[in-house]
Amino acid sequence: MWSDIKRQKYAHMFVLTGMLIVFIFQYLPMFGILMAFKQYSITSGIKGIFTSQWVGLKYFVEFFNAYNFEQMVKNTIGISLLKLVFTFPVPILLAIMLNEVRSRFFKRFVQTVSYFPHFISWIVVSGLLVIFFSTNSGIVNDALLSLGIIDEPIALLSDPDYFWGLAVGSAMWKEAGWWTIIFLAAISGLDPSQYEAAEIDGAGRMKRIWHITLPGIRGTIVVVLILAVGSLLGGGLVGSNFEQSYLLGNVMNNEKSEILQTYAFKMGLAQGRYAFATAIDLLQSLIAIVLVFGSNYISKKTTKSGLF
């Protein structure tokens, strides 16, 4: 055995180096969860995670009693669910539509263009939103005004009533094209002879989509749905609830834009309440784990396919 290891010494060295890095940056912070139950002070460093005093569920209780607790939970869940409902079907639809295009050039063009925003930072996307939706000569308000649809500019960026829609819409704009890649690939793996047979039998376009394309990619749809539900609180398939709420949230729309993540951030790094923020983070991770395993379990029961 030792001779094996000696012969493979480089391989072991490489792997162990990688494991060390992963241990430090992935595993070590895990122990930090203890902070949620402790009287932790940043001056005690990493060691303090283990040595500081236990306080039990104090921070959780405090969090449940926070004055805006209910509204924050509502926002977190509301935005996430809306995103799931509106953005999950869109990539599937887009993939089906692209698949029906005959011109290869046009198909490629639309694909290329629709993936692009995925690679752009939320910072730039937020900047674009500010430019387009500004009440002062923003293009959207300009257009609506000159078409006579509205009489005065709508404050899309500061009116709380619009925040959820803004979050869902901009996430869709940014990421929907990206997720069509997977569905397009699944569609291209389907057997063309099925389509030919259906066509001979007189099935029209819609019928073929309904009876061949959709059932054919059911497995892919299930897997992507589980991924989406599992990452629901983080923003699902369409990226970061945190970045959106942090960048587009402001004093005016705070009641609809404050979510658990932004609150944890403000309490933690901004105000130095490390243990309290860790408790909020931990609650969130627990919900996420329940969501992943729960959706996987349900999907296995009902469709016999799942992630694990």
Residues 260-299 that bind other proteins (CB under 8 A): 264-265, 268-269, 274-275, 277-278, 281-282, 285
Return the residue of 154, 168, 182, 229 that touches other proteins, per CB under 8 A.
182
- Answer for the pair 51, 34: CB distance below 8 angstroms, yes or no: no
Q: Does 110 bind other proteins (CB under 8 A)?
A: yes
At 38, is the secondary structure helix, strand, or coil? strand
- Exposure b/e, 61-100, CB count within 10 A at least 16 = b: eebeeeeeeebbeebbebbbebbbebbbebbbebbbebbe
Q: Does 190 bind other proteins (CB under 8 A)?
A: no
In the chain, the amino acid numbered 154 is I
Q: Does 139 bind other proteins (CB under 8 A)?
A: yes
Q: Does 175 bind other proteins (CB under 8 A)?
A: no
Q: Please classify residue 107 by burial: count the beta carbons closer than 10 Å to its beta carbon, then call 0-12 exposed, 13-18 middle and 19+ buried.
A: middle
The nearest distance, CB 254 to other proteins, in angstroms, is 13
Among residue numbers 45 through 74, which ones bind other proteins (CB under 8 A)? 45-46, 49
Q: Where do the DSSP E strands lie in 42-85? A: none
Site string for other proteins, 86-105 (x = CB under 8 A): --------x--xx-xxx---
Q: Does 10 bind other proteins (CB under 8 A)?
A: yes
For residue 47 the two structure tokens come to 């060691």
Residues in the chain: 308
- CA 41 – CA 48 distance, rounded (Å): 7
- CA 229 – CA 306 distance, rounded (Å): 12
How far is the CA of 255 from the CAs of 34, 79, 115, 170, 275, in angstroms?
A: 31, 13, 33, 19, 24
Return the residue of 55, 85, 131, 298 that touches other proteins, per CB under 8 A.
131
The nearest distance, CB 180 to other proteins, in angstroms, is 10
The nearest distance, CB 262 to other proteins, in angstroms, is 11
81: nearest Cα among 236, 222, 227: 236
Among residue numbers 195 through 214, which ones bind other proteins (CB under 8 A)? 204-206
Return the residue of 50, 64, 106, 210 that touches other proteins, per CB under 8 A.
106
Q: Does 81 bind other proteins (CB under 8 A)?
A: no
Q: Does 25 bind other proteins (CB under 8 A)?
A: yes
71/99 with CB nearer other proteins = 99
Q: Does 78 bind other proteins (CB under 8 A)?
A: no
Q: Does 162 bind other proteins (CB under 8 A)?
A: no
The nearest distance, CB 207 to other proteins, in angstroms, is 9
Q: Does 5 bind other proteins (CB under 8 A)?
A: yes
- CA 277 – CA 195 distance, rounded (Å): 55
Return the residue of 126, 194, 254, 305 that touches other proteins, per CB under 8 A.
126
31/64 with CB nearer other proteins = 31
Q: Does 142 bind other proteins (CB under 8 A)?
A: yes
- CA 82 – CA 88 distance, rounded (Å): 10
For residue 66 the two structure tokens come to 């926070």
The nearest distance, CB 27 to other proteins, in angstroms, is 6
For residue 74 the two structure tokens come to 């509502």
